[in-house]
């Protein structure tokens, strides 16, 4: 009995676990809220041990000098679909209907790696788009160290009102797989939300409106009471509900219904953004998705005038900023290439946001909005998810692409 207990103890609880210390000395540190010159950051194993101008270190500490560089919290991607790839490569319909699950998962492992190496150490993945709960499996594979990738917060299948989503356009007797789970009414919605949570969803995503109107325009889908029910059920497990919404009425129903973020929000009005601010609902604008789709449809960016869709998006984004709505950073990656996540940050600046505020959106604001514990800041006790870039992205946002080092859980994954 004693020998068996000793063997179990040796395998389960390392007796002499070695502590690893790393001191990073960049030119400046953005802590998620403030830029500090000549700060140092001390890592101990997977967490941040200390920050400040002069830190006392252990004799065995590895010291890394990084001149002319900015250290930031690992970036947080607020809206991604790792199981999708750019629509100019393969249309959304064909990805859902023709690509095998094996192919989509293989692609997703590559997407996860590219995302992490670009400095995005956390990702909110908002729907598998016809790939069941494969995002949960991808998350598990990353956590087990089978593949490398960012820490994932996943939505599973997502929820749509029956008849509203796609793929569409088939003979009425033909049933095709849908890009999300259809559910309606009190009993069905309650069961679907609980089932998605049970299958591993960290967040519940709903489509508050979609392009199912009489003229194929975007119109609300779920009733106000249905949204309130889904939020109530999800919140009882401590989870947030986020809503795809682009019409004023779809946004209004989602906001009043209690969602935490509005994804897209193209048709936001002064009244809607005022309501968002009052209710503490954040906007995830996904500027890069609209920019990419417009180019796929033939717009020659930089050579031709901006299409109406882009002009309207500029106006709604400016209106949201002027209204004081809290803005998250999320590009709807998958519509465009994974690893190119910084495209959203660059467009946020192009559409009128200050680079410094964009950095906050991609770090502390996303972490706070998504309720991600110990992430989004360079702070003692927080997880050592760290990005180091050449230059100063608070002055020139494009410097965020000049990646020198990426740490996740204190482990150097890119140098």
pLDDT in tens, 126-138: 999 999 999 999 9
Average pLDDT over residues 81-110: 98
CATH of the domain spanning 75-369: 3.20.20.140
CB proximity list for 389: less than 8 A, separation 6 or greater: 69, 70, 72, 119, 399, 400, 401, 402, 403, 404
Q: Nearest CA to 120 among 318, 344, 391?
A: 344
CB atoms within 10 A of CB 103: 11
Residue 11 has pLDDT above 60, yes or no: no
194 contacts 124 by C-beta, under 8 angstroms: no
Q: Nearest CA to 363 among 28, 149, 72?
A: 72
Task: Write down the domain spans for the chain.
Answer: 19-71+380-414, 75-369
pLDDT in tens, 25-56: 999 999 999 999 999 999 999 999 999 998 99
Residue 307: DSSP 8-state: P
Nearest 5°: CA angle at 173, between 172 and 178? 75
For residue 17, the model assigns a pLDDT of: 57
pLDDT in tens, 288-330: 999 999 999 999 999 999 999 999 999 999 999 999 999 999 9
Paired with 301 in beta bridges are 304
Average pLDDT, the chain: 95
Residue 107: DSSP 8-state: H
For residue 347, the model assigns a pLDDT of: 98
CATH of the domain spanning 19-71+380-414: 2.30.40.10
For residue 12, the model assigns a pLDDT of: 38
For residue 330, the model assigns a pLDDT of: 98
For residue 18, the model assigns a pLDDT of: 78
71 contacts 28 by C-beta, under 8 angstroms: yes
Residue 3 has pLDDT above 90, yes or no: no
261 contacts 243 by C-beta, under 8 angstroms: yes
Residue 332 has pLDDT above 50, yes or no: yes
Round to whole Å and give the CA distance between 263 and 172: 31
Instruction: Output the pTM of the full model.
Output: 0.94
């Amino acid at each position: 009995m004693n020998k068996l207990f000793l063997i179990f103890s040796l395998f389960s609880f390392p007796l002499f676990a070695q502590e690893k210390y790393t001191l990073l000395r960049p030119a400046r540190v953005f802590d998620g809220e403030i830029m500090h010159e000549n700060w140092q950051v001390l890592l101990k194993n997977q967490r941040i041990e200390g920050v400040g101008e002069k830190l006392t270190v252990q004799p065995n500490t590895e010291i890394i000098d990084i001149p002319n560089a900015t250290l930031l919290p690992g970036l947080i991607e607020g809206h991604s679909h790792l199981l999708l790839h750019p629509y100019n490569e393969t249309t959304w319909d064909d990805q859902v209907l023709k690509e095998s699950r094996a192919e989509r998962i293989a692609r997703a492992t590559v997407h996860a790696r590219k995302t992490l190496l670009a400095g995005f150490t956390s990702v909110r993945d908002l729907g598998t788009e016809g790939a069941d709960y494969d995002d949960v499996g991808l998350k598990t594979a990353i956590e087990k160290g089978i593949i490398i990738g960012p820490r994932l917060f996943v939505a599973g299948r997502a929820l749509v009102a029956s008849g509203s989503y796609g793929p569409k356009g088939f003979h009425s007797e033909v049933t095709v797989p849908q890009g999300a789970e259809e559910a309606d009414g009190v009993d069905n919605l309650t069961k679907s939300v609980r089932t998605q949570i049970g299958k591993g969803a960290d967040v519940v995503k709903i489509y508050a409106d979609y392009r199912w109107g009489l003229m194929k325009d975007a119109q609300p889908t779920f009733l106000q009471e249905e949204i309130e029910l889904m939020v109530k059920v999800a919140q009882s497990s401590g989870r947030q509900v986020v809503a795809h919404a682009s019409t004023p009425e779809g946004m209004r129903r989602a906001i009043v219904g209690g969602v935490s973020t509005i994804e897209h929000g193209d048709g936001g009005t002064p009244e809607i953004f005022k309501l968002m601010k009052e209710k503490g609902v954040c906007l995830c604008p996904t500027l890069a998705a609209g920019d990419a789709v417009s180019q796929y449809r033939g717009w020659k960016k930089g050579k031709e005038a901006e299409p109406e869709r882009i002009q309207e998006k500029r106006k709604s984004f400016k209106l949201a900023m002027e209204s004081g709505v809290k803005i998250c950073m999320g590009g709807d990656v998958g519509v465009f290439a994974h690893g190119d996540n910084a495209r959203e940050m660059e467009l946020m600046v192009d559409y009128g946001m200050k680079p410094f505020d964009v950095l906050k959106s991609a770090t502390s604001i996303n972490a706070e909005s998504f309720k991600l514990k110990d992430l989004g800041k360079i702070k003692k006790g927080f997880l050592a998810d760290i990005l180091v870039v050449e230059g100063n992205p608070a002055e020139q946002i494009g410097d965020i692409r000049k990646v020198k080092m990426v740490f996740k859980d204190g482990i150097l994954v890119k140098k």
